[in-house]
Amino acid sequence: MEVFRIRGGIPLRGEVRASGSKNATLPAFAAALLTSEPCVIENVPNLSDVRFMAEILRHLGAEVEELGSGSWRITASEISSKAPYELVRKMRASVCLLGPLIARLGKARVALPGGCVIGQRPIDLHLKAFSSLGCEVQVNEGDVVVDATGLKGSAVFLGGRHGSTVTGTANAIMTAVLTPGITKLESAACEPEIADLCRMLLAMGARIENTGGHHLTIHGVESLGGCRHRIIADRIEIGTYCIAAAITGGDITVSKADTSHLGAFLDKMKEAGITFEEHRSQIKARLASSGLNPIELTTLPYPGYPTDLQAQACALACLAPGPSIVTERVYPNRFMHVPELNRMGAKIKVKGNLSLINGPQELNGAEVMATDLRASVSLVLAGLIGKNRTSINRVYHLDRGYEFIEKKLKKCGANISRLNY
């Protein structure tokens, strides 16, 4: 078992390079199954989830090559329609395989996925989308079984109780690009990662109108070709390092950063007392001389404040004088980090989908446990300012979403080590 050990109290200063987006990479790997021609995907982050996806694609019959410097080549000349549980259990994003398999082969059998446990994250909207497109869908012995003999263009509504489904939108798009006729997607997710997927599909020859919007029109084509595609920067990683700079009282410059996807985050963090300097593809973050202010924010689907930066904001709010309120509207049960932060001295109460944070509080090092990949980075942030030593167990969660996190933090001066037990 691997553990992060951190000694806090050091202001972080330096420059880190933004990695490619994990949430854009995994659908892009799946999209390569839509063609028999090679797809070269660049700026791919070195993450365990990426390697899990590569393993699944190889099992399906695709040739997957790591070319170096973050580039991969995927050639899916002949592929199978079955993805077994022993592979897909490792991550929820494996559900994105359904759309390409249905579109390319006319059938699919994919085990219900695993991954982070953030409340209930059902795939009902995915299955509803496939049914709307004329598929026969069953869940049989833990597998999603789809017969796409009757596949045809149609109107598909992708809205759900807590907003649009991001992976469901990706699945619907990848199915529709090879579906005969015209498909109209209503209430589609418009996250940058979805726009990035559309950009790749357009390069492959797909016909998609209004990319980046909530209402997409897709004209099905007979076949798609290969492409070369560069993954966008990881907006969640960029935001995390900006908060790391402020919470430690230092300053960090993130290079290769596209801040156009971070409007709501930057707006809220400025209110909280973080100052930013942007120059071309760089952003520099530091705490304002006036110090931190209490936070009041609500997570929402894009372009709202990202749920994947909610836990980091909670850690930051522990240092702000006065009460802060964080409302989680995307995954209402996403507060598994709160008990661990409270073990370190935070005073946070959870009421329904509200997190009530009473600051400022002095945080102390403790032994804590990571629970999911994005929220658990809040424990790293707390460890960076905690007195004495913090030990974080289950760091494999962090390895799923943050490329070389301890190396990047060390580069900025952090006292952090990865230990094996």
Query: Of all residues in the chain, what percent are helix, strand and coil, respectively (each to 5)?
Result: 35, 30, 40
Return the exposure string of 232-264: e unless at least 16 CB atoms fall within 10 Å of the residue's CB, then b: bbbbbbbbbbbbbbbbbbbbbbbbebbbebbeb
Token couple for 331? 């995954």
Q: What is the 3-state secondary structure (H, E, C) of 240-255?
A: HHHHHHHHHCCEEEEE
Give yes or no: 242 in active site: no
The continuous run of DSSP H or E covering 24 comes out as helix 22-31
CA dihedral 315, 319, 320, 323 (to 10 degrees): 70
Distance from first CA to last CA of the chain, Å, rounded?
5
Which residues, 6+ apart, have CB-to-CB distance to 214 below 8 Å?
Answer: 164, 186, 187, 188, 190
Show the tokens assigned to 244.
């790391």
Q: Which of 116, 135, 190, 314 is catalytic?
A: 116
Q: How far apart are CA 293 and CA 137, in angstroms?
A: 50
Catalytic positions are 116
